[in-house]
Structures are given as structure tokens and as C-alpha cells.
Amino acid sequence: MALKIAVIGCRGFGRVHLNALSKLRNRYGLDIYVFSRTEEYAKDCYREYEASGYFTRYSDVLRSNVDVVDLVVSHDAHMPMSIAALEAGKHVMLEKPIARTIEEAMNVINIVKSSGKKFMVLENHFFDTSVWKARELMRQLGRVSMIVVRSFSITRQVVGGGLGS
């Protein structure tokens, strides 16, 4: 039986999640579903990631037979959408932070405890394939005592002003 995961938010960082889940689909028997409030985006994402289905209403996701809700949404939606998913019997993966305040975070945690469902707060690079590759290569190094990660990007001036990449 395939694990059914609905990625809520299929633009921006949601695409990082979808890229990773797409690569894991066959290996772990995943059915991937996508959600966007805009039907055009939902359909585009559905086609691009060869998803099993798409949703345009969160309430439909909650009523569906998906097992896991992967929330890649704005911070103000973290608490209410997490709680709604947990109360609907879904496991939840949530892109960090857990919530905007400690009080909101505790509300989510209390529902997690009473729901018996799995809950995971994802870090920025959890699904980043370059991090996975680095982890694989680190096994060859032996004992590692510290890792320093640096980011570097170059921007160029765009004709007419502004920055481009």
C-alpha cells in the first residue's frame, strides 16, 4: 500500500519538497498529491510532478485519504493548518518554524500529543539533494567534528536597473 503525501504549497520552496519526493516515489512507494488554491498552479504542478491528484481546497485534502500533509505555507498558516490536519487524522510535515510564537507552537504540540499522529518540523535543507550527497561523502571521511556551511551567490546588474541572477 502506497503512502499518500499531499504537498500543500506547490510554488517556491514547495517545489524543493516535490523534487525530493518525486525522486523517492518509486523507491518508497509514495503517491504524491499537490495543493494550490489556484487551479492553474495546481494543474501545472500536477502535470510537472506527475502527481496522483491535485486539490484546490484544503478542506478537500483533510477529507481525502492522504496519510501525510506536507505544509509548505506562510508562517501565519502553520498553526491552524497543522491543527486541522492532525484533527483530521493526518500525519504532518511542517516546514520550519513550527509557529510564530511559543504559544502557537505549544498549541500544535498539545494537539500532536493528543492525536497520536506523527509530526515533523523540517529544516531548510532537509530535502536538499546537495546535503544528501554531502552526507554520503562524509561517510568516507571518518569522524567529522565540525561542518561549516557557507553560501555564495553572484548577482548581475539588469539593463534598466535592479538585480538579476
Decide if 97 is inside a domain: yes
Tell whether 151 is covered by a domain.
no
Work out whether strand 156-157 and strand 53-55 pair parallel, antiparallel, or are unpaired.
Answer: unpaired
Contacts 24+ apart (CB under 8 A), 19-28: 19/127, 19/129, 20/127, 20/128, 20/129, 21/70, 21/127, 22/49, 22/50, 23/129, 28/3
Domain containing residue 16: 3-140
Task: Examine residue 25 and state whether it is found in any structural domain, yes or no.
Answer: yes
Q: What is the pLDDT of residues 55-105, one digit of tens each?
A: 999 999 999 999 999 999 999 999 999 999 999 999 999 988 999 999 999
pLDDT grade, residue 165 (50/70/90)?
very low
13 within domain boundaries: yes
CB-count exposure of residue 22 (10 Å: 0-12, 13-18, 19+)? middle
The answer to whether residue 159 is domain-embedded is no
When divided into structural domains, the chain yields a total of: 1
Domain presence at residue 145:
no
Within a domain: 152: no
149 within some domain? no
pLDDT at residue 158 is higher than 60: no
> What is the pTM assigned to this prediction?
0.76
Report the range of poorest mean pLDDT among 15-19, 68-72, 99-103, 145-149: 145-149
| CATH code: domain of residue 76 | 3.40.50.720
φ/ψ (deg, to 5) at 117 = -95, 160
